[in-house]
């Protein structure tokens, strides 16, 4: 009998052969520039005005591409690694980031999508750090008259408590807080409006304790950064 098999027997062998399987999708890892990987337990919150560097790798061994929509934009960075920078364009919506990997290393192409929250950025203003312990009849300087935040919002200085004990005065291009003859406490607020959908309002609170000259510190002597209570209004 010649070598080989009858047609019916060969047909049976063909039916028993395992079907070809498609490659597993590539696995994508995205991390911040500091190396912290995105996960269900960690997704960074993007702040307006503070770009975030990211990098990505794939088990396919292929370069990755980035796309962003809604509240952010993304720009790829040149170099041997797959890296990009995310920038918030609007805090009215979340940032939708999509990272795509080509096939390779026995892995098929894949995409990963992340929804990142966005928030308004912080403003800074050149208000001074001054002593919180002052003497009667003295004055401290808060900064230049007409100062603005780093985003152009005018800073307004007002006495919010103890208006009979201290006054805010602008003279010769300088804003000062002048203290009267009575001991006590007064509170001064340096504040500026926010920029809609971009930056939070700015606010710094000064709480001054006024003592008689025989008990208080020298006027205007700074106690260091801890001498001023600084607060930025939170976003709800």
Segments making up each domain of the chain, as ranges: 26-119, 133-230
Into which CATH architecture does domain 26-119 fall? Sandwich (2.60)
Q: Which of 21, 45, 227, 1 is nearest to 131 (CA)?
A: 227
The pLDDT assigned to 215 comes to: 54
Only one residue has tokens 């401290």, namely 140
> Residue 10 in 3-state DSSP?
helix
Only one residue has tokens 């912290």, namely 36
First to last CA, the chain: 88
- Residue 12 has φ and ψ, to the nearest 5°, of -65, -40
The pLDDT assigned to 213 comes to: 79
The pLDDT assigned to 148 comes to: 97
The pLDDT assigned to 5 comes to: 47
- The reply to whether 26-119 and 133-230 are identical in fold is yes
Pairing type for strands 24-25 and 107-108 reads parallel
The pLDDT assigned to 22 comes to: 57
The tokens for 139 are 């004055």
Number of Cβ within 10 Å of residue 199's Cβ equals: 25
The pLDDT assigned to 11 comes to: 43
Exposed e or buried b per residue across 139-177, where buried means at least 16 C-beta atoms within 10 angstroms of its C-beta: ebebbeeebebebebebebebeebeebbebeeeeeebbb
The pLDDT assigned to 233 comes to: 41
The parts of the chain modelled with pLDDT lower than 70 are: 1-22, 215-236
Distance of alpha carbon 152 from alpha carbon 154, whole angstroms = 6
Indicate the DSSP class of residue 165: T
Distance of alpha carbon 234 from alpha carbon 236, whole angstroms = 6
Question: Judging by beta carbons within 10 Å of its beta carbon (0-12, 13-18, 19+), is residue 72 exposed, middle or buried?
Answer: buried
CA distance to 78, 108, 207, per residue, from 63 (Å):
12, 13, 55
Q: What is the CATH code for 133-230?
A: 2.60.40
């Amino acid at each position: 009998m010649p070598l080989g098999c009858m047609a019916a027997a060969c047909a049976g062998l063909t039916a028993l052969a395992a079907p070809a399987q498609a490659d597993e999708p590539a696995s994508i890892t995205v991390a911040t520039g500091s190396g912290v990987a995105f996960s269900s337990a960690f997704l960074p919150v993007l702040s307006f005005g503070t770009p975030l560097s990211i990098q990505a790798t794939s088990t396919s061994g292929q370069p990755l591409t980035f796309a962003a929509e809604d509240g952010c934009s993304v720009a790829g960075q040149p170099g041997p690694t797959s890296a990009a920078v995310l920038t918030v364009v609007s805090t009215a919506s979340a940032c939708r980031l999509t990272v795509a990997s080509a096939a390779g290393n026995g892995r098929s192409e894949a995409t990963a999508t992340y929804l990142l929250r966005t928030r308004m950025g912080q403003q800074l203003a050149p208000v001074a750090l001054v002593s919180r312990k002052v003497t009667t009849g003295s004055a401290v300087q808060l900064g230049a008259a007409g100062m603005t935040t780093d985003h152009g919002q005018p800073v307004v200085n007002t006495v919010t408590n103890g208006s009979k004990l201290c006054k805010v005065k602008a003279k010769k291009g300088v804003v000062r807080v002048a203290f009267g003859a009575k001991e006590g406490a007064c509170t001064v607020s340096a504040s500026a409006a926010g920029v809609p959908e971009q930056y939070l309002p700015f606010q710094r609170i000064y709480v001054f304790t006024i003592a008689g000259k025989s008990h208080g510190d020298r006027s205007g002597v700074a106690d260091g950064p801890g001498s001023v209570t600084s607060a930025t209004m939170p976003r709800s």
